[in-house]
């Protein structure tokens, strides 16, 4: 039989002794024949009290088993020095049971009149015993971890995990090859300027890699755009973009031209004339003057016109231009609606007589005779 089995048998015997003394007290009460008297303390224990007693006994057995395990661990670590501690640990559970049995036996032989006062202290004692047992279990387990090396192994693993764990600071230091302050002595080149020491720090790898990549990129760029011409450069890309924009504009204007042309254009309202004025100010002032008085081009405010003075004639002149006299065709820049707005504004300049007007050019245009009945506007202007 294991020589440590006595540490398990002894608590069991003590618990059996407590229960036996309680049973003997119950038999004494029954033999007295006092049927009207209250029951003894032992017989009045509720199920909750029995649960507390059973739980305390189980914890006691656990403590005894752990104490034996601790004894073996301590013996392995250094048996001689820790022998006294082992003996005290093995005796502690037995002492707890003896104290508890004494108090319980005293409660069992108490007088019936003192019963209500003994039950509550009994439970408080059980709570205290269980608390002490739990603390003892925690301490014994901690000692077992210490003497078996489990705690040291756990600490080593935690340190290794902390060193191997990822962090932005570690990554940044690795990317830049940063060295700790403690190693500055190894980096000192021996040069000092006004107390400022020169250190031989390594160039950050990201800078070296970026520099090498920029050289490779420059070689590829030069070959692609200036040697092989396999791709358009910036100037060519600009010209391509302008050509595409003009093609898109021409397509848009072609679609708009079907809405109005020189055969069906009419004088627009005030809003259309105001829009035409803005177009005139941005494109026609250089040749015809800010007020239509003329300049390089003819006067647009009198009754004399080179290519006709009706709204339709003006629309046609603006649309197709007069290339031989330096006037470009504006159909490539303006939509049909914009040309109608510009022609309406030119028509509205008739009779304004601005200062510094250019001399008469072309033939006289009789507005009343040439106006069409349904579309005759209020004003008749001359323009080229």
Could you give the domains of the chain? 6-152 (no CATH), 177-231 (no CATH), 234-384 (1.10.760.10)
Supply the pLDDT for residue 125.
80
pLDDT, tens digit, 9 for 90 and up, residues 268-282: 899 999 999 999 999
pLDDT for position 258: 59
**Residues pairing with 199 in the sheet:** 188
CB atoms within 10 A of CB 199: 14
Using CA atoms, how far apart are residues 160 and 163, in angstroms rounded to an integer? 5
146-163 mean pLDDT: 73
Overall pTM > 0.75? no
In which region does residue 194 sit, left (phi positive, over 0), alpha (psi from -120 to 50) or beta (all else)?
left
80-90 CB burial, b ≥16 within 10 A, e <16? eebeeebeebb
Residue 234 has pLDDT above 50, yes or no: yes
Q: What beta strand segments (E) does the chain contain? A: 188-193, 196-199, 304-305, 363-364
Bridge partners, residue 188, by sequence: 199
pLDDT greater than 50 at residue 84: no
The rounded distance, in Å, linking the Cα atoms of 55 and 334 is: 100
Torsion of CA 31, 36, 38, 40, to 10 degrees: 0
Tens digit of each residue's pLDDT (9 = 90 or more) over 42-56? 444 566 677 777 788
- Is the CB of residue 50 less than 8 Å from the CB of residue 130? no
How high is the mean pLDDT of the chain? 74
Selection from 92, 196, 81, 192 nearest residue 147 by Cα: 81
Highest mean pLDDT among 59-73, 188-202, 216-230: 216-230
Torsions phi, psi of 199, nearest 5? -110, 145
Express each pLDDT in 311-323 by its tens digit.
899 999 999 998 8
Q: Kindly indicate the confidence band of residue 137, based on its pLDDT and cuts at 50, 70 and 90.
A: confident
User: What is the average per-residue pLDDT within 57-74?
Assistant: 78
Mean pLDDT along residues 204-217: 91
pLDDT (average), residues 2-25: 51
Quote the pLDDT of residue 189: 81
Chain mean position to CA 117: 65
């Amino acid at each position: 039989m294991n020589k440590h089995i006595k540490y398990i048998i002894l608590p069991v015997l003590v618990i059996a002794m407590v229960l036996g003394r309680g049973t003997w007290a119950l038999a004494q009460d029954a033999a007295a024949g006092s049927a009207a008297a209250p029951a003894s303390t032992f017989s009045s224990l509720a199920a909750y009290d029995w649960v507390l007693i059973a739980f305390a006994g189980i914890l006691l057995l656990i403590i005894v088993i752990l104490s034996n395990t601790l004894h073996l661990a301590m013996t392995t670590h250094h048996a001689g020095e820790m022998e006294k501690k082992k003996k005290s640990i093995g005796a502690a559970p037995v002492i707890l049971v003896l104290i508890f049995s004494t108090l319980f036996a005293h409660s069992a032989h108490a007088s019936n009149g003192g019963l209500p006062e003994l039950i509550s202290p009994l439970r408080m004692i059980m709570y205290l015993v269980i608390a002490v047992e739990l603390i003892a279990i925690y301490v014994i387990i901690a000692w077992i971890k210490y003497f078996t090396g489990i705690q040291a192994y756990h600490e080593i693993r935690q340190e290794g995990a902390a060193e191997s764990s990822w962090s932005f600071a570690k990554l940044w230091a690795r990317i830049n090859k940063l060295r700790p302050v403690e190693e500055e002595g190894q980096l000192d080149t021996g040069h000092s300027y006004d107390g400022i020491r020169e250190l031989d720090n390594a160039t950050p790898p990201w800078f070296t890699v970026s520099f090498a990549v920029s050289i490779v990129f420059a070689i590829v760029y030069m070959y692609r755009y200036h040697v092989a011409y396999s791709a358009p450069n910036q100037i060519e890309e600009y010209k391509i973009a302008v050509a595409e924009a003009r093609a898109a504009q021409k397509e848009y204007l072609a679609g708009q031209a079907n809405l109005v042309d020189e055969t069906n254009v009419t004088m627009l309202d005030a809003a259309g004339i105001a829009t035409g004025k803005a177009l005139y100010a941005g494109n026609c002032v250089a040749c015809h003057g800010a007020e239509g008085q003329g300049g390089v081009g003819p006067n647009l405010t009198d009754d004399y016109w080179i290519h006709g003075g009706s709204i339709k004639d003006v629309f046609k002149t603006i649309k197709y231009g007069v290339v031989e006299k330096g006037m470009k065709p504006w159909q490539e820049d303006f939509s049909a609606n914009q040309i109608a707005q510009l022609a309406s504004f030119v028509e509205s300049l008739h009779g304004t007589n601005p200062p510094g007007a250019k001399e008469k050019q072309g033939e006289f245009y009789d507005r009343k005779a040439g106006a069409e009945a349904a579309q005759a506007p209020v004003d008749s202007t001359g323009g080229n």
